[in-house]
Amino acid sequence: MNRLVIEDLSIRFGGVTALDGVSFSVEPGEIFAIIGPNGAGKSTIFNLLSRLYQPSGGRMTYGEADLMRCETHQIASLGIARTFQNIELFENATVLQNMLVGRHRLTQRNLLLEMIFPHAIRESERQQRLAVERIIDLLELEHLRYETVRDLPYGARKNVEIARALCAEPTLLLLDEPASGLNPEETDDLGFWLEDIRADLGVTLIMVEHDMGLVNRMADRVLALHNGKTLALGTAQEVRENPQVQSAYLGGAS
């Protein structure tokens, strides 16, 4: 199991410093939450970890691997998977196809062989399908298998996106606002699933979340950001009671 270490991470967009010297580390098996008002730089951390943005300074390592040396498509092979704030599913494909793309990094590909489709390819397709079925089982998505994503309601899409990320067999899962847009009942279910994901699959979780109920219930540690700077880092209760965090959320003297 790998430890994620982020040191002194910064990024500027023109004159805006979106992230200013943020450091933290996430231990294997931990559920780590990142909170903060809009524009605090929460999703920016995820986009930096996915190598979608180029940081202007700092270091990111996952176990032995230096994330700064990776390109976006190489991040998955380190065992890091993610979801997006504005769901990024393959809209015109079925749930099953979406999840099979999740297996991409674990699938051998050879275009010429695929044209001929010999027994070996069929066997590999069966193996990928079995792996996908295990995740379908875990997240209770059986009834959605053959649905086109475009036809699914919002809540179901959220789950499918988590399922697709899990298909990549990650050791670290980045969840960008998993509970946004879900009703209280769906949020409750999500909480149980996240517990299952950690307990059954041994996945380390980092989530950006505004639902403080979910954060209090799930997170081992919480990082509070404001205007790209670290406000507080500690257990959910410590962070909640931090006066600076309270003033950032509720306004008042800063």
Query: Applying CB under 8 A, which residues contact other proteins?
Result: 50, 52, 72-77, 81-82, 84, 88-93, 96-97, 100-105, 107-109, 111, 114-117, 121-122, 125-126, 128-130, 133, 164-165, 168
Write down the least CB distance from residue 197 to other proteins, Å: 17
**Minimum distance from CB of 102 to other proteins (Å)?**
6
Q: What's the length of the chain?
A: 254
Question: Residue 169: how many CB atoms within 10 A of its CB?
Answer: 17
Q: Is the torsion defined by CA of 193, 196, 198, 202 positive or negative? A: negative
CB-nearer residue toward other proteins: 111 or 250? 111
Beta strands across the sheet bearing 16-26: 16-26, 4-13, 57-62, 65-66
Of the pair 122, 143, the CB lying nearest other proteins is at: 122
User: Helices 154-167 and 95-102 sit at what angle, rounded to 10 degrees?
Assistant: 30
Nearer to other proteins by C-beta: 117 or 154?
117
204 in Cβ contact with 112 (< 8 Å): no
Minimum CB distance to other proteins smaller for 27 or for 122: 122
Question: Which DSSP symbol is given to 210?
Answer: -
Q: How far is the CB of 140 from other proteins (least distance, A)?
A: 19
Which is nearer to other proteins, 6 or 165 (by Cβ)?
165
- In this structure, is the dihedral angle defined by the CA atoms of residues 227, 228, 232 and 235, taken in order, positive or negative? positive
Closest distance of CB 15 from other proteins, Å: 26
Rounded to a whole number of angstroms, the minimum distance from the CB of residue 43 to other proteins is 13
